[in-house]
A = this chain, B = another copy of it.
Amino acid sequence: MANSKFEYVKDFEQPDVLLPNTWIVVRIDGRGFHKLSDHYAFEKPNDRRALDLMNAAAAEVMKDLPDLCIAYGVSDEFSFVFHPNSQLFERRSAKLVTTIVSTFTAYYIYLWSSYFPSSPLKPPYLPSFDGRAVIYPSSRILRDYMSWRQVDCHINNLYNTTFWTMVLQGKMSNTDAEQELKGTVSSDKNEILFKRFGINYNNEEEIYKKGSVLYRQYELQDPKPSSVSVEDETSPSIPEAQQSRSQQDRMKKLRRKAKVVIDHVDIIKDEFWARRPWIISGSVGKLPVQS
């Protein structure tokens, strides 16, 4: 074939297969969303439409890729998690990351007008996202990753809520508010909100305080009393790679049947995981009875 003379250039492609039997987290982040949120006049400290749009795009990604077992979003970032069993795209890093980034972007742009009907997109202010894959060797560490993001959500939201209340309701300048908040701890901020503005932070909306967690919905389970750990199931002797092709396809179909739900709940404590054991185990649960 005429092309063979140049085909040697393919040898420069280097493999990027992620270590087997590890959790894969693909985290994506909005590019230049600070400027973008100014341009489209996002509400401060939180724009509900923008968060709902993020969640809607993420839900479509979850539906498109049944191998994803959970996702967590806050602000303009989203973390998508593949189970250690997943063999999607032979676990090639670039393929996994770009597929998620591109699918997310496509839905974000496509759905924009539904969430911002009065602010049409206009180049060069088109939203875009970058992303990366990180692997975690155990479910304990995967859960610590998820906790890390949720603690970050809490810290940032408490700060932003206080800052913007001081600016918008307290009529302070940005600089003054920033200055006063420097070095404060959580209780200080809670007190500012409550004493000066009569705001009880606990009553803020859960989506702002907890972020958004997406997963496939099956029947919740009663946590077993002895179930202290969710760890044991992460490193099966016989990984899914050795499952038959047909078993894998069957799982994929079952996962597609489950509804993807968007929750705003604590994912740091054990309860969330104990009642939804299918997330860590990589299996499927019982579909809820339709009412």
By a beta-carbon cutoff of 8 Å, the part of chain A in contact with chain B is: 1-3, 5-17, 19-22, 28, 31, 60, 63-64, 84, 93-95, 97-99, 101-103, 105-110, 121, 123-124, 126-141, 144-145, 147-148, 151-152, 154-155, 186, 229, 231-232, 234-239, 241-242
Contacts and interface: CB of A to CB of B under 8 A. Distances in A.
Given A3-B148, A106-B109, A186-B2, A235 B140 contact: yes
Contacts of A133: 94
Contact of A2 (B13, B103, B129, B155): B155
A124 B64 contact: yes
Contact of A28 (B98, B121, B229, B235): B98
B21 A138 contact: yes
Contacts of A148: 3, 6-7, 9-10
Given A12-B141, A21-B141, A102-B105, 4 more contacts: A9-B136, A14-B17, A93-B94, A105-B106
Nearest to A23: B137
A19 B9 contact: no
Contacts of A60: 123-124
